[in-house]
Structure 1
Amino acid sequence: MCGIIAYIGKQKAVPILLEGLRQLEYRGYDSAGISVIQNEKIITLKAVGKVVELQNKIGERDFSGKIGIAHTRWATHGKPSDKNSHPHGDCEGNIFLVHNGIIENYQELKNILIKKKHRFVSETDSEVLAHLIEEFNKKSDFKKSVLEALKLIRGTYGLAIINKNEPDKIIIARNGSPLILGIGKDEFIVASDASAIVRHTDKVIYLDDGEMAQISVDGFEIINIKNKIVSKEISKLNWTLEESKKGGFPHFMLKEIFEQPEVIRNAMRGRAERFLLENSAPILGGLRAVEKRLRKIKKIIIVACGTSYYSGLVGEYILEEYAGIPTEVEYASEFRYRKPILDSSTAVVAISQSGETADTLAAIREAKNKGALTLGIVNVVGSTIARETDAGTHTLSGPEIGVASTKAFTTQLVVLVLWTLMLGRQRTMSNVMSKRIAQELKNISKFIEGILKKSKEIQKIAKKYSSAKDFLYLGRKYNFPIALEGALKIKEISYVHAEGYPTGEMKHGPIALIDENFPSIFICPKDSVYEKNLSGMQEIKARGGKIIAIATMGDKEIGKIADDVIYIPKTLEMLTPFVSVIPLQLFAYYFGVAKGYDVDKPRNLAKSVTVE
């Protein structure tokens, strides 16, 4: 996945496609490619690296074709390479496509197609689509072939497809991955993001899930998966180029906070379902190569930095309680200096958004040298940690532009819960328990969507406290790491002092700081430590401290104590971090904005720390 652009019209396609790719660069990517219909054949060029590398490959060649597709890729299946880059083609070079999304049943379809003598050149799930369309195209026209292929797909897709044998059209389709049809004068521009369209036209149609369009120079037809014509309104783009890259949000950070329901679904897709359907102990795909070693693991050590460290702390609680495996969490920067005792029965898990964090990478190398099993939880496919660990799972959260991590954190939690289910089922966890957790995990995106609808309420609370110079964040058990993460977020983007503590530690020092100018943020859902949290809140109140509470919907007791309350949905105790962290992300964001700071690029911070 990452960025799609397609063009059909009366101008040369290549300059427009390259410009579109440049506008999509902000999303992050590892390779780029382009296909153009010209002189009764399809010419395809690809390059690992930046769009400029692709442009250099094109060089001075005269591309006169007026129909084409292009793509920037963020690897999800297969490492970054020319062969894994889009566009992908069929056996005969007649059909090429670009694809955003994940095809869950690609291996099953690939096996069927191989038996039918199809030849695959990449490691990607996307290539399967090109061959599937080719198979149907032997007996049907282009449009019908695409429709029939899509009926067999399980997963998400944003697609743009061209066919050498029907060179006057592009077919596009959407299911769970955005696509926009831009309508110009005698031309059409298709993109996954308005930033690639806004320079050409302000007239657009937004495809909805389950819709497909066939486009020619003369016009377009939109149908649904049942081949019924769909009538769509033409919308007007009112965004500038910069606004379009942010999807209409004022900052990338806010955009990424609001993307969390969808990226959590992506991280679970094809994974959580296995714990609902299978009565055995399912093994996650990326860990299959080390399945036997995982069954013998007696201890887990998680190494990470920053926000990833806090997701690891949540993992420590759930892995010990539900999988029954002793687990420790270490700052990667300290891990190798204390001479840890490791052996083959220890799994050392690196958590890193970028997969390039220098301290975490050094910790993994140290662990490997001492004979431990090394595992990775990373977002970037093909990153150094992904390559150097024995096995791992990708979080599939897509590029994260804002320096302060949001969606990468929650998708790391998804993977840790899935690992807990897998390891727990290998040991003593019952099928009933694992299915209950997996089912509730599938509800989390819906719960987060409900919290995001209350963002304006959280904005008002943030403005109310915008003059505060200090904050104390408090939580217990699963929500102690969330208190730490909440404090980090507000430090990162607002430059105010904040501390995260377990509620029980408050009276061992921090309570001395409390007065009317030192607000406390309590994470206090209705859980097994609710009464103890409530007691801590009373102590703060007795000393004149202001209190913002994160509480479970319907909890009337909290409102009698706290000055402000942000309510979250009730869920399983082990899953409360997913819903309790969202208000804290929003609070930090709106607090930083109220103080006039650039929340996307906080001072002194880098997105990926690649030096020790």
Structure 2
Amino acid sequence: MCGIIACIGRTDTVDRVVEGLENLEYRGYDSAGIAVRNDDGVAVDKHAGKISELKHSIVDELPDGTIGIGHTRWSTHGPPTDANAHPHTGETGDVAVVHNGIIENYDTLRDELTAEGRTFTSDTDTEVVPHLIEKHLEDTDDVETAFRRAVDELDGSYAIVAVAADSDTVYAARQDSPLVVGYGDGCHYLASDVPAFLEHTDQVSFLEDGDVAAVTDETVDITDADGESVSRERETVDWNAEETVKGQYEHFMLKEIDSQPNAISNTLQGRIDGDDVVLEEFPEGTFADVSAVQFVACGTSYHAGLYAARLLNKLDVPATAHRASEYASGDIPVSADTLAVAVTQSGETADTLAALRLAQEKGAQTTTVTNVVGSTAAREVETPLYIRAGPEIGVAATKTFSSQVVTLSLLAERVAEDSPVGTVRSDRAAFLDALQRIPEQIDEVLERSTAEHVCRSHVHDDAYFFIGQGTACPVAKEGALKFKEITYEHAEGFAAGELKHGPLALVTPDTVVFAMFTGGDRDTKTLNNAKEVQARGADIVAVAPEGVDLDECTDEVLRVPSTHPDLTSLLTNVQLQLVSYHAANLLNREIDKPRNLAKSVTVE
């Protein structure tokens, strides 16, 4: 949650920081602000609202300087107001701080600082940090020492970046919240995410928990919690900076829907050889001790885990998907022959990381399926598996869901090969061939979809249900999630057979039901469930492969190309993404920045 950017060593630092904040708005957009340090001290300008609405006033009001830090906020402590916006300063205004995460002991610290006569002007937990730094500066002239002492007093999760009037160094600390260093041309960057500065450099180092970084225009010095110098590997980020700008598109979401063929092609590249799945990360025998698989994830990634669990179960490997926040409670049985797979786009989702660590404590084998090289999840497992989708800016996940499902499909095949309980599918050649044709078939869907026309007919309905069976069930849940995320309308997704066990009571003539068909043996039951809804006056929109006969049950049909029944739902998902997008657009919603949501949830 929230976005941090710092630029050190540029005369146009304000422009660079504003640019970075715009690139990070998917992490939060309740308020934004910048602090600039120059020979006159530290100047701060911050406001409630989106950075896109504030950037001109910020640029006009702030002086020039070669050091700047900025923040775009997703509110946790305190509402989105000017006072609660970051950066925060202490009593003198000589120290400015931006922070992601939650300071769990801030109430105690605030009471102690208030008792000492220090004045607070916001409702945030962050404000204790600059006050602590200023307090320790009263005992030492060394800013780094004061910064370390302040950080040592904090409990909780944090990524903190601070500037001080008497220092040309920016100080940063990380604990359970991401921070990355960018190495530019004559300058350096700090950010919560690589897209903040990707158009300027692809050379990065990822800070680890307990790290403190001291960054100038020429140097990056990183020490651990004990103050010992450490080296963090410098890496090249294999992402295209063009993916972080909208280009000809009105919204990032539509651009990312359209980019799915390329994203999935990247996901598949080099991973299928004839009838073999080639995952270099997992050579033959890697999963020889695995008798059960547990996927842990949140939101869209959870739905990808549900899809993968169904595929593995068909290969005779017991597999379940769990919401990470529930899994982390410790109630799920885990043993040494369990493979726990953390599915997380960012690799920084707090609940998923907590679940992953619990599985490790219980002795499970672990891996992660993630999009971000160097992320916390990737570092905390021996061997991560990357989805290779490239940066995704829209808050509503699209191409990363598709890429997760494709990656997990390959992983499922590999696990089944090795597992003593697994069975290699009898139609593997046909399945892998169909998987490789998914990118071109998504192109077909994108070219031929009539989703916008369907939306015009139903955009003012009262409720939207999404139903399916088998692999269509998790996609129904994902379709409902996308719809509610960006349209703000009531939407529910569930197994088709569950309609008559309660949800049918909500069906009226002002309800539309999206029914997913796969071309498999469960379609007859889904069709019967759809007829139950139609009998109550609701409209039915079917999403089905070419050739599937839906007789006269449905009111409208969104078609997808015929493919392997286990993969049809991947194509169905694209139609549902377009339904959500066009409905939201017709309702004039903030598609890329839906209210109350942020892209990377780094707090529990």
TM-score interval, normalised by the smaller of the two chains: 0.5 to 0.7
Task: From 477, 482, 493, give the equivalent of 2:486.
Answer: 493
1:484 aligns with 2:470: no
Contact 1:314 1:413 in 2 (8 A): yes
Within-5 A mapping of 1:94-243: 193=242
Corresponding residue for 1:263?
Answer: 263
Is 2:342–2:356's contact at 8 Å kept on the other side of the alignment? yes
2:280 is aligned to: 285
Q: Is residue 605 from structure 1 mapped to residue 597 from structure 2 by the alignment?
A: yes
Q: Identify if the C-alpha distance between structure 1 residues 24 and 554 changes in structure 2 by more than 3 Å, giving closer, same or farther.
A: farther
Taking the aligned partners of 2:206 and 2:428, their CA distance within structure 1 comes to 32
Counterpart residue identity of residue 270, structure 2? G
Secondary structure at 1:453's aligned position in 2? helix
Pair 1:509–1:377, CA change in 2 (3 A): same
Q: Deviations over 1:208-253 (max 9, x none)?
A: xxxxxxxxxxxxxxxxxxxxxxxxxxxxxxxxxxxxx212111000
Deviation at 1:52, TM superposition (A): 8.7
The yes-or-no answer on 1:56 pairing with 2:51 is no
Q: TM-score, normalised by structure 2?
A: 0.62
* 1:372-412 deviation line (CA, Å, top 9, x unaligned): 11110010111111111232200010111000000110000
Shift of 1:537: 1.4
Report the equivalent of 1:72.
Answer: 201
Q: Which amino acid aligns with 1:462?
A: C
Show the counterpart of 1:439. Answer: 433
Corresponding position of 1:36: none
**Aligned partners of 1:396, 1:475: CA distance in 2, in Å?**
28
Distance 1:357 1:381, change over 3 A: same
1:450-508 CA distance string (max 9 Å, x none): 000124x2111112211123111110111000110011111100111111111111111
Deviation of the 1:194 alpha carbon: 10
Aligned partner of 1:303 in structure 2 is 296
Shift of 1:558: 2.2
The equivalent position to 2:366 in structure 1, one of 363, 374, 380, is 374
**Structure 2 match to 1:584:** 576
Query: Which runs of 5 or more structure 1 residues have no equivalent in the other structure?
Result: 1-13, 29-47, 59-68, 82-121, 127-156, 159-176, 178-191, 196-244
1:453 to 2:447 alignment: yes
Query: Deviation of residue 430 (structure 1)?
Result: 4.8
Q: 1:605, CA displacement in angstroms?
A: 0.5
Mapped contact 1:263–1:398 kept (Cα < 8 A): yes
Would the alpha carbon gap of residues 283 and 448 (structure 1) be closer, same or farther in structure 2, given more than 3 Å must change? closer
Preserved CA contact (<8 Å) 2:466 2:480? yes
Aligned-residue offset at 1:74: 8.4
How far does residue 22 in structure 1 lie from its aligned partner after superposition? 8.8
Report the equivalent of 1:406: 398
CA contact (8 A) 2:518 2:566 kept: no
Matched residue type, 1:573: P
The offset of 1:307, in angstroms, is 0.4
Shift of the alpha carbon at 1:51?
6.2
Contact conserved, 1:301 with 1:327, CA < 8 A, in 2?
yes
Conserved 8 A contact 1:264-1:411: yes
Q: Which amino acid aligns with 1:499?
A: E
For 2:182 and 2:334, locate their aligned partners in 1 and report how far apart those are by CA, in whole Å: 44
Aligned equivalents of 1:268, 1:80: Cα separation in 2: 30
Name the structure 1 match of 2:328. 336
Q: Is the 8 A contact 1:261 1:448 kept in 2?
A: yes
User: What is the Cα deviation at residue 532 of structure 1?
Assistant: 0.9
Provide structure 2 residue ranges, at least 5 long, that are not aligned to the other structure. 1-9, 25-178, 190-197, 209-232
Q: Secondary structure at the residue paired with 1:591?
A: helix
Q: Secondary structure at the match of 1:538?
A: helix
Residues 293 and 339 in structure 2, CA contact (< 8 A), matched pair in contact too = yes
**Aligned residue runs from structure 1 range 8-27, under 5 A:** none
User: Where does 1:394-543 land on structure 2 (aligned, <5 Å)?
Assistant: 394-426=386-418, 429-430=423-424, 433-455=427-449, 457-543=450-536
CA separation of 1:359/1:516 partners in 2, compared to 1, >3 Å: closer, same or farther? same
1:391 is paired with a residue whose SS is coil
Asked whether the equivalents of residues 303 and 332 of structure 1 are also in contact (C-alpha less than 8 Å), the reply is yes
| Offset from partner CA, 1:405-456 (integer Å, 9 cap, x none) | 001100000111111221223356458633322111000001100000124x
Contact 2:402 2:570 in 1 (8 A): yes
1:308-319 matches, cutoff 5 A: 308-319=301-312
SS at match of 2:550: helix
- Aligned-pair CA distance for 1:309: 0.4
Question: Aligned-pair RMSD on alpha carbons?
Answer: 3.3
Aligned counterparts of 1:530 and 1:70: Cα–Cα separation in 2: 47
For residues 521 and 559 of structure 1, the distance between their equivalents in structure 2, rounded to whole angstroms, comes to 16
Distance 1:445 1:283, change over 3 A: closer
Q: Distance in 1 between matches of 2:243 and 2:387?
A: 25
Checking the alignment, whether the CA contact within 8 Å between 2:339 and 2:366 is kept in structure 1 is yes
CA contact (8 A) 1:21 1:71 kept: no
CA–CA separation in structure 2 for the residues paired with 1:20 and 1:365: 37
Contact 2:486 2:591 in 1 (8 A): yes
- 1:287 shift after superposition: 2.9
Q: Is the 8 A contact 2:307 2:471 kept in 1?
A: yes
Does 1:390 pair with 2:382?
yes
The alpha-carbon deviation at position 292 of structure 1 amounts to 4.3
SS at 1:519's partner residue? Answer: strand
Contact 1:351–1:378 at 8 Å: present in 2 too?
A: yes
Rounded Cα–Cα distance in structure 2 between residues aligned with 1:70 and 1:581: 31
Task: Give matches, 1:27-42, under 5 Å.
Answer: none
DSSP 3-state at the match of 2:391: coil
Contact persistence 1:309–1:330 (CA under 8 A) = yes
- Contact kept, 8 Å, 1:22 with 1:51, in 2: the verdict is no
CA distance in 1, matches of 2:570, 2:22: 27
Query: 1:340: Cα distance to partner?
Result: 2.6
- TM-superposed deviation, 1:24: 8.9
Distance 1:123 1:337 in 2: 36
CA 1:22/1:316 → structure 2, altered by over 3 Å: closer, same or farther? same
1:434 aligned partner, one-letter code: R
| Pair 401,605 (structure 1): closer, same or farther in 2 beyond 3 Å | same
Q: Relative to 1, partners in 2 of residues 1:492 and 1:70: Cα closer, same or farther, differing over 3 Å?
A: closer
**Identity over aligned pairs, percent:** 34
Bigger Cα displacement from structure 2, 302-311 vs 533-542: 533-542
Q: 1:513 to 1:441 in 2, by over 3 A?
A: same
CA separation of 1:247 and 1:509: change in aligned 2, threshold 3 A: same
Q: Does structure 2 retain, via aligned residues, the 8 Å contact 1:79–1:381?
A: no
The aligned residue for residue 565 of structure 1 is 557
